Amino acid sequence: MTRSATDSAAREAVSDALLAIVPDAPIAELADDTDLREALELDSLDFLAFVEQLNTRTGMRFEEDDYSGLRTIAGCLRMLRRPAG
């Protein structure tokens, strides 16, 4: 798989996970470095649900220590690119 294909799959997973929590999230309007919690008004329950969605969709498990890395789309993509384990 090429790098760009991996990226687009990861982007789709992030986008789908966000849409599952905020069904009308204006994903296209969100810059990659926008703080998702602020822009979409996610509280801690919402954010936990988002992390859960990422877990279900990608099989990757993020610990709470990783949360700060998941605050932006760019951050999520970086985390998803991380080698497993």
Per CB under 8 A, the list member of 26, 31, 32, 33 interacting with other proteins is 26
Given a contact cutoff of 8 angstroms between Cβ atoms, the answer to whether 10 and 80 are in contact is yes
Q: Which stretch binds other proteins (CB under 8 A): 4-12, 62-70, 73-81?
A: 62-70
Nearer to other proteins, 5 or 65 (CB): 65
Per CB under 8 A, the list member of 8, 32, 33, 61 interacting with other proteins is 61
Whole-angstrom CA distances from 58 to 18, 38, 41, 72 are 13, 24, 24, 17
Closest CA to 17 of 38, 43, 46: 46
Binding site for other proteins (CB under 8 A): 22-26, 40-45, 48, 51-52, 55, 61-65
